[in-house]
Structure 1
């Protein structure tokens, strides 16, 4: 097949991921201890809610997560654990500062791996669903990194879990339409906007408590990588976005005086399963793959939760290791919204290096980056791994 022929030399016309980075807040929560930590710090002793959260913590497959929330924050803002009090102002004081700091640290980690001067960054794409202010976090990130005053900034707010894919799509377009450009894509998220005490009237909030985590990610994207200076990792070939009509309420979030009110409909995994084949096939056919060749690809799927991964795996009849990077990211970091696709890509690189060392088989050349968010919106990129 034409798509599989030839060497893996870089296609200089295509935008390419040149470096990846990540950062987290200092507080790590072990899933086994989450129930005790959560109920203690929210002054709740409801045995039924405790039992439900205990059960959810097991089904999410999450093992560890990083969170901005600390006992020091709760001591400073005790109203965060009181039902019905207006506290959006307090939450934003915490969130705006936290997401900026995490974005700076993730970007510094990424830029260090890239190895070129910060002044070579021409564009900044900033993604977050965890802040509300203007100027936005893009300007504070640029200032914190010391980027040039003429760096061109684009912000993507409140795209939820599809934000990382949307950011890659936008950065791809910028790179391929601005010769010589180098784009820093930064994502940063915290669950602080939605942190609430458990309530029988909002039993669904416990799903978020058991699943979501905080952190930041960063990616450098550009075309025509400079030999001996930059290391190409993944080429970004075809990017698509598709929103499913009539699904606006399936993933729903609203800012209120108490923070963000967020719900995920139980239909979401089924909706994704019902529509995933058509979406993937449109991306794959661009290089001659058909639906019988899913297992010839690598899969970088945003791990919205185990049910989504399980249904996608079953519908596409994927081999058992195809979603390994996604499952690892979910276990180690939880669903960290837009950031998580960065963690999945890093784990894919680790797996590729392991395959090369062990000589078991060559890593897959072509793959798909997928994320799902409010809308319901699908983000997808047909991607080619560049093996040096």
Structure 2
């Protein structure tokens, strides 16, 4: 498909032929709801830690994250069964994976069922499954357990994306888009599921970053149905996925090579930075997953996001679109990332409202978060339409993950 100017599409907002659309959204959460104001005392009591300095630091972090509530799999029952999870230095990866593997499947099944119910068609019409998680590790993978739990046909084509981190939800959308557009008549179920138990640890002065995770991350699952050429009698298209790209920031060695190529061919290098593959760093160890984020991450995103957005919008043929005339569905990695993106692109405060709401209500739920943001986006679009304030037909879906990897999709709001 070629590029399309928004003015050529008329007022009915019908999907463009051959383009993938999101046809339904669903979500699910574990039973434990954590109120941020009570988290600090509960966490230090659970882990039998009485370090006043660490407690004070976590208290500050809990306020700066802007998170109000989150859902978590971790419970008193789990800690009674596995007390070693709250003890420093033990080999607990087997116990963690036993818990996580079951939990993410249960949540993914629930979110997928909710999505299929919202879709309104038979589960037998699902032809492909894309499954995303950074919270489990097993063979066969969670895609098979999800397919089995839902009762999908054994002929369902499956793809799984493991350990993609916060960019996983948009990466999954990109993969689902490719599948839908290259397999006429297909219906793709995209499911994401995450739990923080894989990285739960007691507080330690040797691992100050762990407190950021305690203050910020949450658990849950999300699901979407993606397909092209929707049956407008049976299906309600929500968003058209018009153009998708992925870029990573080159590390120093690769960047030196790219600079040589730029000089040789008079090209333009898109990204700036060095050794960015360590900016978001995770390793699976005997104590679960050890995960760190560099302090430079918000700055790296700020430095590169505008050039990435220009490239994405230009590829879709919308180079002259005003940013504030578009909607912005951005993965809420944290308030600093949202603040810097807003400032760099000179966005009106309301543009990132769905992202900030998702962060406040669910924390950073990794790959799931973009599902929650898109759902809030629909809610705000409908509210604006009812108030005759108009809406923004075109917009961007963005996420940032390990690499540092930028995922982006130019989308159209079809919810009329």
Query: TM-score with structure 1 length normalisation?
Result: 0.98
1:4 to partner: Cα distance = 3.4
- What is the aligned partner in structure 2 of residue 372 from structure 1? 400
**Is this contact kept in 1: 2:243–2:316, CA < 8 A?**
no
Deviation track 1:248-302 (CA, whole Å, cap 9, x = no partner) reads 1000000000100100000000000000011100111134434771111100000
Map 1:152-167 to 2 at 5 A: 152-167=157-172
The correspondence for 2:111, drawn from 85, 93, 106, is 106
**1:251 is aligned to 2:280:** yes
Q: 1:327-379: CA deviations, max 9, x gaps? A: 000000000000000000000000011011111x2110000000000000000
Which of 2, 10, 19 does residue 5 from structure 2 map onto?
Answer: 2
Counterpart in 1 of 2:330?
Answer: 301
What is the distance in 2 between the residues matched to 1:291 and 1:257? 51
For 1:1-388, list aligned pairs within 5 A.
Answer: 2-5=5-8, 6-7=10-11, 8-246=13-251, 247-290=276-319, 293-359=322-388, 361-388=389-416
Partner of 2:189: helix, strand, or coil? Answer: strand
Q: Distance in 2 between matches of 1:387 and 1:212?
A: 30
Q: Secondary structure of the equivalent of 2:58?
A: helix
Residues in 1 aligned to 2:240 and 2:413: alpha-carbon distance in whole angstroms: 6
Mapped to 1, the partners of 2:349 and 2:148 lie a distance apart of 44
Aligned equivalents of 2:318, 2:183: Cα separation in 1: 30
Q: CA RMSD in A?
A: 1.0
Unaligned runs of 5+ in 2: 252-275
CA contact (8 A) 1:12 1:225 kept: no
3-state DSSP of counterpart to 1:237: strand
CA contact (8 A) 1:283 1:381 kept: yes
Number of aligned residue pairs: give it: 387
TM-aligned CA distance change 1:4 to 1:320, over 3 Å: farther
Which runs of no fewer than 5 residues in structure 1 stay unpaired?
A: none
TM-score, with length taken from structure 2: 0.92
Is contact 2:243-2:410 (8 Å) kept?
Answer: yes
Contact 1:3–1:287 under 8 Å retained in 2: no
Separation of aligned partners in 2, 1:275 and 1:289: 19
> Counterparts of 1:201 and 1:59 in 2: how far apart (Å)?
22
Contact 1:3–1:288 (Cα < 8 Å) also in 2: no
Q: CA deviation at 1:2?
A: 3.4
SS in 2 for 1:20: strand
Check conservation: 1:300, 1:368, Cα contact below 8 A: yes
* Aligned counterparts of 1:218 and 1:127: Cα–Cα separation in 2: 10
